[in-house]
A = this chain, B = another copy of it.
Amino acid sequence: MPDLYPSRCDEVPRVIERSDPVVYSSLTSSAPLTAGQIHQYSQDGYVVLRGLFSPSAIKGLRAEAVKLLDNPASLDKETLVTESGSGRVRSIFMVHRQSAAMARLAGNEWLTSIARFLLADDVYVHQSRLNYKPGFVGKEFYWHSDFETWHVEDGMPRMRALSMSILLEPNTPFNGPLMIIPGSHRSFITCVGRTPENHYLTSLKKQEYGTPDQDSIAQLAAQNGIAALTGNAGDVIIFDCNAMHGSNSNITPFPRANAFIVYNAISNRLQSPFGAQTPRPEFIATRELVYAVN
């Protein structure tokens, strides 16, 4: 299979025009998003759906999240990622296979119908996680395109995947909200350097390879600005797999907790990695256990 998006193989970064659609379906009267929402997703690479989950649904999910965070012993140890400074749990991966409530969330009909519409295919969960940026000590996530990693390290062939972040706590301007460079999903910024073996063991805490260069980010941000995707518990942020995003640290007392589900098109199943020797393990990138949801 030809590599449309080669990365981590040159000494200097390049900008490759995206050759895949962003919205794969056409608008019909039965579309699960409005024309305005589809337009924004297409143009900016993200859309925020307000109040998709009721306060009582969020209460249940939050209770489940607390239960999981408070009982790390009940979870597969390798799916836990801790903050490098404080040792606090920062993410639980493959959460939809470790919690019935999170499995139901991943299979939620609203979410999956939106994913199937935008990707015009049956979808499966490529990755799921509970992201918990604790108060006081939550550290930043540097700028990155998820697709760059999924392509190079996991073997995802094309840009036909998206992420949904279900807000379990208010994401305010103060507690390190998700920042996206609008329109950045239309260009693929190649990263320089090679991928070390077992990169995932350190990259989930602090990524050093597969990060874009400062000049490219500065240029993208100068052209398009930066959007902070703030919202209330129950809102859902949907963003394209190639949107350039990151977040600042969180010194406030208010944790930033989100459930995070990545849907990939069945037709876009993982191949051999495009730039790594060994594929990353199943808990980070579904390879074997592909089941279409809904």
A interface vs B, CB < 8 Å?
Answer: 135-136, 139-143, 173-174, 176, 179, 214, 217-218, 221-222, 226, 228, 246-254
Q: Which residues of B contact A174 (CB under 8 A)?
A: 179, 226, 228, 248
Q: Which residues of B contact A251 (CB under 8 A)?
A: 140-143, 179, 246-248
A214 lies within 8 A of B143 (CB): no
Nearest to A173 among chain B residues (CB) is B173
Q: Which residues of B contact A250 (CB under 8 A)?
A: 248
A189 nearest CB across to chain B (Å): 13
Q: A228-B173, A228-B174, A248-B176 are in contact. Are A253 and B136 (CB under 8 A)?
A: no
A218 lies within 8 A of B249 (CB): no
A226 lies within 8 A of B214 (CB): no
- 10 cross-chain CB contacts under 8 A: A140-B251, A141-B251, A173-B173, A174-B179, A174-B226, A174-B228, A179-B251, A179-B252, A217-B253, A247-B251
Q: Which residues of B contact A252 (CB under 8 A)?
A: 179, 221, 226
Closest 3 CB pairs of A and B: A218-B253, A249-B249, A248-B248
Q: Which residues of B contact A218 (CB under 8 A)?
A: 135, 253
A253 lies within 8 A of B222 (CB): yes
Nearest to A142 among chain B residues (CB) is B251
CA distance A86 to B143 in the complex (A): 17
CA distance A248 to B217 in the complex (A): 20
CA distance A222 to B214 in the complex (A): 37
Q: A174-B226, A174-B228 are in contact. Are A136 and B217 (CB under 8 A)?
A: yes
Nearest to A221 among chain B residues (CB) is B253
CA distance A99 to B179 in the complex (A): 37
CA distance A253 to B142 in the complex (A): 11
A143 nearest CB across to chain B (Å): 6
Q: Which residues of B contact A228 (CB under 8 A)?
A: 173-174
A16 nearest CB across to chain B (Å): 21
Q: Which residues of B contact A143 (CB under 8 A)?
A: 251
CA distance A46 to B249 in the complex (A): 24
Q: Which residues of B contact A141 (CB under 8 A)?
A: 251
Nearest to A176 among chain B residues (CB) is B248
Within 8 Å by CB of A214, from B139, B247, B248, B253, lies B253
Nearest to A250 among chain B residues (CB) is B248
CA distance A249 to B222 in the complex (A): 19
